[in-house]
């Protein structure tokens, strides 16, 4: 048996230690068979035992894809140690993997198999001589930050009268003070006052401990430059100014567009009024003249009700003075239902019921479009005179009868079946 110190974790790295007795067909760390070791503990192990050490360091955030939602990514340093007879560990093989997911792949498995073949494992469990962390059985203040540490939630350091309590791995971070601070890692100013999501105060356990302002680890400020609080605030104000300018420009463009539309509407109204006045003057001029001939051209035709159609007609009237006046009219006439797909205006023998004359084709077409085809409400057979019985006043009248006074009406089935009863509809 040889007494060794399990390699501790360096800095903020994550990792684990384990003796290796064999390998299974499982993937990753589940394939390793052996006993877990706590970093920093002093343990007794058989000479020739293979110790696997894996240290992971944060490298960034993976982008979401079709197969994963993303998440933190890590690099891994894998080292195979061999327990030697002189009381230490010898690094037999070491390699850094850019992706921690491939750290225990075929390359590492091949090295483990070679070491196990050269140094057959004894499968004797490790004996812990001195634990790195001793749980505190009594509550007390942390020797670094002074915060209260409940029982069994920290660990003891020192011995005898010098024993003290501290948090397990690091003390709890704190918010940035109101006066602001500068990141100790990258030297960039962080925001001051209120809630600062991208920076915190961290306690560094050196020379009695000190508080340092740092960006949160996920930002990796030492490799990815972070903007200062002043620059970020200035950029925010600049973005607001640009947005306000864009909105003002859009508002001005909308106002110009509305002004052009209003001008166009006014000109169109003036033109329509002038055109209407000219046509009205033309009507007054030819009012006492005689029409020599008329030419009509059907522009549109459609059905508007069962047995009723309407046609949009352009009429040219020729007067005795040689002038021609064109007007547009809607002609309602008796026809065979709705308009046919060919747009036929109906038979020549259809009776004209009503005509409406319009001065402009715009007014005529607008009136024509407002006319829609409407069907008569469906009726049930035998209910032309209502659903109430003319004799008893009950519902379900569908049988035509004549009462004793000769008045026609519709009765229900019960009154219709009483042949001997004289009916009275009065």
Cβ–Cβ < 8 Å for 408, 391: no
- Does pLDDT of 367 surpass 90? yes
Q: Which residue has the tokens 């020729």?
A: 318
At 338 the pLDDT is 42
Q: Say how far apart CA 77 and CA 250 lie, in whole Å.
A: 57
- DSSP 3-state of 229: helix
Tokens for 360? 């402009």
Among 405, 411, 395, 410, residue whose Cα is nearest residue 426: 405
Q: Render pLDDT for 267-304 as a digit per residue (tens, 0 to 9).
A: 999 998 898 899 889 888 888 899 999 999 999 999 98
* Residue 42 φ/ψ, nearest 5 degrees: -100, 120
Residue whose C-alpha is closest to residue 143's, from 118, 116, 124, 162: 162
Binned at pLDDT 50, 70 and 90, residue 12 comes out as: low
**pLDDT tens digits, one per residue of 131-157:** 677 788 889 999 999 999 999 888 887
User: How high is the pLDDT of residue 340?
Assistant: 39
End-to-end CA distance of the chain: 126
Q: Please give the mean pLDDT across all residues of the chain.
A: 85
**What pLDDT, in 10s, does the model give residues 403-415?**
888 888 888 888 8
């Amino acid at each position: 048996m040889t007494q060794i110190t399990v390699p501790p974790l360096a800095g903020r790295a994550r990792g684990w230690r384990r003796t290796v007795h064999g390998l299974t067909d499982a993937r990753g760390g589940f394939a390793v068979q052996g006993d877990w070791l706590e970093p920093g503990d002093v343990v007794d192990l058989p000479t020739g035992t293979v110790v696997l050490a894996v240290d992971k360091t944060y490298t960034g955030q993976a982008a979401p894809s079709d197969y994963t939602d993303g998440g933190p990514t890590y690099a891994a340093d894998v080292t195979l140690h061999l327990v030697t007879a002189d009381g230490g560990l010898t690094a037999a093989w070491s390699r850094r993997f850019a992706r921690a997911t491939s750290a225990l792949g075929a390359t590492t498995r091949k090295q483990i198999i070679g070491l196990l073949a050269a140094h057959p494992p004894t499968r004797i469990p490790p004996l812990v001589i001195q634990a790195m962390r001793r749980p505190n059985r009594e509550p007390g203040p942390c020797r670094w930050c002074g915060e209260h540490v409940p029982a069994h939630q920290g660990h003891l350091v020192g011995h005898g009268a010098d024993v003290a309590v501290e948090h397990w791995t690091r003390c709890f971070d704190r918010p940035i003070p109101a006066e602001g601070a500068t990141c100790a890692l990258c030297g960039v100013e962080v925001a001051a006052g209120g809630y600062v999501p991208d920076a915190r105060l961290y306690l560094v356990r050196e020379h009695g401990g000190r508080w340092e302002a740092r960006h949160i680890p996920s930002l990796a400020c030492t490799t990815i430059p972070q903007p200062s609080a002043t620059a970020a605030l200035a950029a925010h104000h600049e973005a607001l100014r640009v947005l306000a300018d864009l909105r003002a420009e859009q508002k001005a463009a909308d106002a110009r567009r509305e002004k052009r539309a209003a001008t166009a509407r006014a000109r169109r109204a003036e033109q329509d009024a002038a055109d209407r006045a000219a046509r009205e003057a033309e009507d007054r001029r030819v009012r006492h003249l005689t029409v020599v001939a008329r030419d009509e051209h059907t522009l549109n035709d459609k059905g508007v009700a069962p047995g009723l159609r309407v046609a949009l007609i352009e009429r040219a009237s020729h007067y005795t003075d040689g002038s021609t006046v064109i007007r547009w009219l809607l002609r309602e006439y008796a026809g065979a239902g709705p308009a046919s797909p060919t747009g036929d205006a109906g038979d020549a023998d259809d009776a004209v019921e009503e005509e409406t004359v319009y001065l402009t084709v715009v007014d005529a077409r607008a009136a024509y479009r407002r006319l829609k085809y409407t069907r008569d409400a469906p009726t049930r057979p035998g209910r032309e005179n209502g659903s109430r019985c003319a004799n008893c006043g009950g519902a379900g009248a569908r049988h035509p009868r004549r009462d004793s006074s000769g008045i026609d009406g519709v009765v229900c089935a019960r009154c219709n079946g009483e042949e001997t009863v004289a009916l009275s509809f009065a």
